[in-house]
C-alpha cells in the first residue's frame, strides 16, 4: 500500500529528485531573478540569513539524531517486551504507544518548551519521544507476527535464542519495523520544521520568517526544499523496503 | 495472569521512583512541603488514600471490581494532584505577594501521566464495551474536572492565564473546531465516493494512491506554504473568490491542505473495508435476488462501515493536530495561542494552547472509537 511500485521501476524519479534537491539547495540564490519576477513587491526575494546548505544540514542532523536514537531505543524496547523476561512490560508499553500517538506532534513539541526551555534540547527530545512510538509499535507487531512454527523450527535446528532472534525473527519482522522507522522519520522531518518556532535552525526557518514577515518567497523556498526532502526520503525508504528479502507468506 | 500482575508491578515501581517530587515554581517545592504549606489538608488526604490504592494495585486480585477501583482511584489521584497544587498556590497567594505565580512542576505532570497510564492499563484489561468505555472515561476525567470547576486551582498560573484570556480562548476553541469540521466534511463527502470508485476500478488505484501518498508525505508546514502562493494568486486573479474569503493566508489554505491530507486514510480505508466484505456473503445476497444497488447499501456499506470509520478516526485526530499548525498561516484556533506563547516566551500561554489541543485529539479519538464499536456490534 505504501510503495508506488510502477514509479520505482524506473531508475529515474529518486535520482532526479535528489539532483533537483541538491541543485535547488545550492542554487537558490541564483534563482533571485525568478523570485524577483514572481514577487515584484518584495525587497528581498531570496532568503539569505543562512545558506540553504546549512539549513538542510542542520535539519537533517536534527532528524538523524532524534530518529536515530528513537530507532535504537524503540527497537531494543520492542525486542525486550517480546522476550519472556520483558513480557511483563508489554501491556504498559502498548498503552503508552496507543495513548501517545493520539497526541499531535506539534503539541508535544510545544509542551517540551515549558519542560526544557528553548533551543535544540526540547526539539531533540520531543522529536525523539514522538519518533519512538511508531518504531516501538511496529517492532512489537512485527516480532509478534513471526509465526510460532518458524521460531520452533529454528530452535529445533539447535539455534540459541540470540541466533533465533538475529537469523529468524528480526529478518522476518524487518519489513514491518522498517515501515515504523519510515513513519517516524517522515513525522520527525515535518515536526523538525515547526521546531524553528522554538529556536532550532531548520528548513522551517525561512517558512516561519516568511509567514511572520509576509514574505511569500521565503515561504515558498523553504516549503519546496522541505517537500522535496520528504518525498526523497519516502521514496528512499520504499526502495529500501523493496530491497529486503521477501517474507514468505 | 502472573505476567499482567508483574506488568503492573513494573508500572508501580516506575511510579514510586518518581516519588522525590517537586512542584516547580522558580524554586522547586517538594510534594511534602507542598502538603504542609497547602491551604487545606483535604487534597493531601485524598492523595494519600488514592495513592495507596494505586500502589497496592499490582497485588490486588484481577477482578473487574478491583480494576474499576484502580480506575476510580486513578481519577481521584489525578484530581488530588491538581487540587494539592491549587491548594498550595492558594496558601502561597495568601502569604506572598499578589503577583506571585505558582505553576505545575515536572513531578506534577509525571504523577498525572502515571495515574492516567495505570487507569488506561486497567481499562484495557477490562475490555470494555462502548458504555463501559464512556463510564471509565468519566471516572478518570470526572474528579479532575470537578476540582477545576470548583475553582480549587484558580490560583495556579495556568488558571490565571486562562482567566486573562478567557474570551480569546473560547473563540480559539470554536475556530479550531470549525477548521476541523470544515476539512472533515468535504473529505468524507469526496473520500467515500472516491474510495468506492477506486475499489471498482483498479486502474484508478494505481494512480490515486501514489499521489495521495506523496501528499501525505509532504510536511504540513511545507504544504501550507506551497498552497499559499497559488491561492493568493488565484484570489488576485479572480476577485470574486477573494470576496468569498479565499486568500493565501487564513482558513482557505488550511482547509484545502487538511482535506488533501485527510483523503488518504479515508479513501484507503473505504477500499480496505469494501475489499474485506466476504465474497460468499455478496453472492448469497445476489442469489436471494437483491439488485446490485441493494447489495451495496444493505451488504457492502454496513460491513465496510467500521473500517471506513476508523479511517475517519485517523483523519479526525490528525486534523486536530494539523489545525494547530495551520495557526502559522493565520488560520487561528488553539495553535494561535500556542505559537503566540512560543514566540513571546510565555510558557503558560503555550500550555493554554497545547493542552486543549491534546485533550481535543484524545476526545475525538474516544468518540470515534465509540462510534466504531457501536457500528461493529450492529454489523457483526
How much is the pLDDT for B99? Answer: 54
**Domain identity same for B181 and B282:** yes
What tens digit of pLDDT does each residue of B197-250 get?
A: 888 888 888 888 888 888 888 888 888 888 877 777 766 666 665 655 556 667
The residue in chain B having the minimum alpha-carbon distance to the alpha carbon of residue A95 is B121
B338 interaction partners in chain A (CB closer than 8 Å) = 106-107, 110
Contact call for residues B20 and B98 (beta carbons, < 8 A) = no
What tens digit of pLDDT does each residue of A50-105 get?
A: 888 889 999 999 999 999 999 999 999 999 988 887 777 777 788 888 888 888 88
How many whole angstroms separate alpha carbon A126 and alpha carbon A137? 18
Q: Give the Å distances, CA to CA, from B130 to A95, B116, B365.
A: 18, 19, 13
Query: Could you tell me the three cell numbers for B33?
Result: 512541603
pLDDT band at B48 (very low <50, low <70, confident <90, very high): low
CA triple B117-A97-A83, angle to 5 deg: 95
Boundary (domain end) residue, out of B112, B136, B155: B155
pLDDT greater than 70 at residue A165: yes
**Domain identity same for B45 and B169:** no
**Domain identity same for B65 and B191:** no
A207 interaction partners in chain B (CB closer than 8 Å) = 221-222, 225, 328
Residue A248 lies in a domain: no
Give the domain range for residue B146.
Answer: 2-155
**Domain identity same for B180 and B112:** no
**Domain identity same for B199 and B221:** yes
B217 interaction partners in chain A (CB closer than 8 Å) = 186, 230-231, 234
**Domain identity same for B86 and B33:** yes
**Domain identity same for B185 and B269:** yes
Comparison of pLDDT for B167 and A117, the residue scoring more: B167
How much is the pLDDT for B21? Answer: 33
Contact call for residues B122 and B76 (beta carbons, < 8 A) = no
How much is the pLDDT for B373? Answer: 83
A110 interaction partners in chain B (CB closer than 8 Å) = 338, 341-342, 350, 353-354
pLDDT greater than 50 at residue A153: yes
CATH (domain of A23): 1.10.3720.10
Contact A91 B353 (CB under 8 A): no
Contact B217 A216 (CB under 8 A): no
Residue A249 lies in a domain: no
Task: List all residues 6 or more positions away from A63 whose beta carbon is below 8 Å from its beta carbon.
Answer: A127, A185, A188, A189, A192
Contact call for residues A151 and A166 (beta carbons, < 8 A) = no
Kindly provide the ipTM of the predicted complex, given to two decimals: 0.80
CA triple B72-B76-B78, angle to 5 deg: 120
Contact B350 A110 (CB under 8 A): yes
Give the domain range for residue A239.
Answer: 5-243
Number of domains chain B is built from: 2
Q: Can you list the pairs that A95-101 forms with residues at least 24 positions away whose Cβ atoms lie under 8 Å? A: A95/B117, A95/B120, A95/B121, A95/B124, A96/A133, A96/B117, A97/A133, A97/A136, A97/A137, A97/A140, A98/B120, A99/B116, A99/B117, A99/B120, A99/B362, A100/A129, A100/A130, A100/A133, A101/A133, A101/A134, A101/A137
**Out of A95, A113, A216, whose CB is closest to B120?**
A95
The residue in chain A having the minimum alpha-carbon distance to the alpha carbon of residue B328 is A211
Contact A223 B225 (CB under 8 A): yes
Which A residues in the span 124-163 are in contact with B, Cβ-Cβ below 8 Å?
none
> Mapping DSSP to helix (H, G, I), strand (E, B) and coil, where does residue B116 land?
helix
Amino acid at each position: 500500500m505504501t510503495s508506488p511500485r510502477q514509479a520505482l521501476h524506473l531508475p529515474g524519479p529518486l535520482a532526479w529528485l535528489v539532483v533537483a534537491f541538491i541543485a535547488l539547495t545550492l542554487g537558490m540564490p541564483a534563482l533571485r531573478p525568478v523570485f524577483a519576477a514572481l514577487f515584484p513587491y518584495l525587497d528581498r526575494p531570496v532568503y539569505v540569513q543562512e545558506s540553504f546548505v546549512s539549513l538542510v544540514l542542520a535539519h537533517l542532523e536534527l532528524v538523524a539524531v532524534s530518529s536515530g536514537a528513537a530507532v535504537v531505543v524503540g527497537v531494543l524496547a520492542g525486542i525486550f517486551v517480546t522476550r519472556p523476561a520483558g513480557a511483563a512490560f508489554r501491556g504498559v508499553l502498548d498503552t503508552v504507544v496507543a495513548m501517545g500517538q493520539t497526541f499531535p506532534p506539534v503539541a508535544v513539541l510545544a509542551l517540551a518548551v515549558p519542560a526544557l526551555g528553548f533551543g535544540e534540547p526540547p526539539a531533540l527530545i520531543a522529536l525523539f519521544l514522538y519518533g519512538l512510538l511508531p518504531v516501538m509499535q511496529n517492532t512489537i507487531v512485527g516480532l509478534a507476527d513471526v509465526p510460532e512454527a518458524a521460531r520452533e523450527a529454528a530452535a529445533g535446528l539447535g539455534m540459541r535464542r540470540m541466533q533465533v532472534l538475529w537469523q529468524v525473527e528480526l529478518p522476518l519482522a524487518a519489513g514491518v519495523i522498517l515501515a515504523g522507522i519510515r513513519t517516524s522519520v517522515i513525522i520527525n522531518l515535518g515536526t523538525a520544521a515547526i521546531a524553528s518556532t522554538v529556536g532550532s535552525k531548520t528548513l522551517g526557518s525561512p517558512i516561519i520568517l516568511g509567514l511572520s514577515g509576509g514574505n511569500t518567497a521565503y515561504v515558498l523556498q523553504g516549503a519546496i526544499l522541505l517537500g522535496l526532502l520528504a518525498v526523497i526520503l519516502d521514496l528512499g525508504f520504499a526502495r529500501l523496503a523493496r530491497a529486503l528479502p521477501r517474507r514468505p507468506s | 495472569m502472573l505476567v499482567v500482575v508483574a506488568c503492573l508491578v513494573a508500572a508501580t515501581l516506575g511510579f514510586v521512583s518518581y516519588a522525590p517530587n517537586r512542584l516547580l515554581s522558580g524554586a522547586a517545592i517538594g510534594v511534602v512541603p507542598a502538603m504542609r504549606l497547602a491551604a487545606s489538608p483535604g487534597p493531601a488526604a485524598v492523595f494519600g488514600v488514592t495513592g495507596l490504592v494505586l500502589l497496592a494495585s499490582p497485588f490486588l486480585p484481577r477482578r473487574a471490581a478491583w480494576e474499576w477501583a484502580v480506575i476510580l482511584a486513578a481519577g481521584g489521584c489525578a484530581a488530588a494532584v491538581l487540587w494539592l497544587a491549587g491548594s498550595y498556590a492558594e496558601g502561597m497567594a495568601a502569604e506572598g505577594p499578589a503577583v506571585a505565580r505558582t505553576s505545575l512542576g515536572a513531578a506534577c505532570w509525571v504523577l498525572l501521566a502515571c495515574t492516567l497510564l495505570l487507569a488506561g492499563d486497567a481499562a484495557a484489561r477490562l475490555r470494555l464495551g462502548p458504555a463501559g468505555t464512556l463510564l471509565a472515561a468519566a471516572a478518570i476525567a470526572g474528579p479532575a474536572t470537578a476540582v477545576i470547576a470548583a475553582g480549587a486551582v484558580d490560583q495556579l498560573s495556568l488558571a490565571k492565564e486562562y482567566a486573562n484570556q478567557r474570551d480569546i480562548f473560547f473563540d480559539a476553541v470554536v475556530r479550531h473546531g470549525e477548521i476541523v469540521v470544515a476539512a472533515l466534511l468535504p473529505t468524507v463527502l469526496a473520500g467515500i465516493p472516491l474510495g468506492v470508485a477506486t475499489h471498482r476500478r483498479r486502474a484508478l488505484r494505481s494512480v490515486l494512491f501514489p499521489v495521495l501518498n506523496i501528499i501525505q508525505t509532504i510536511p504540513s508546514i511545507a504544504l501550507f506554504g506551497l498552497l499559499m502562493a497559488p491561492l493568493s494568486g488565484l484570489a488576485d486573479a479572480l476577485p470574486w473568490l477573494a470576496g468569498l474569503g479565499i486568500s493565501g493566508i487564513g482558513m482557505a489554505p488550511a482547509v484545502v491542505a487538511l482535506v488533501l491530507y485527510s483523503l488518504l486514510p479515508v479513501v484507503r480505508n473505504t477500499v480496505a473495508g469494501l475489499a474485506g466484505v466476504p465474497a460468499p456473503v455478496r453472492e448469497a445476497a445476489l442469489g436471494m435476488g437483491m439488485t446490485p444497488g441493494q447489495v451495496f447499501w444493505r451488504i457492502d456499506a454496513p460491513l465496510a462501515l467500521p473500517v471506513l470509520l476508523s479511517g475517519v478516526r485517523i483523519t479526525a485526530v490528525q486534523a486536530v493536530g494539523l489545525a494547530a499548525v495551520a495557526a502559522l498561516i493565520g488560520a487561528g484556533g488553539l495553535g494561535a495561542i500556542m505559537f503566540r506563547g512560543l514566540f513571546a516566551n510565555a510558557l503558560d500561554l503555550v500550555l493554554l494552547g497545547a493542552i486543549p489541543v491534546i485533550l481535543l485529539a484524545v476526545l475525538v479519538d474516544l468518540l470515534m472509537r465509540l462510534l466504531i464499536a457501536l457500528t461493529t456490534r450492529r454489523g457483526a
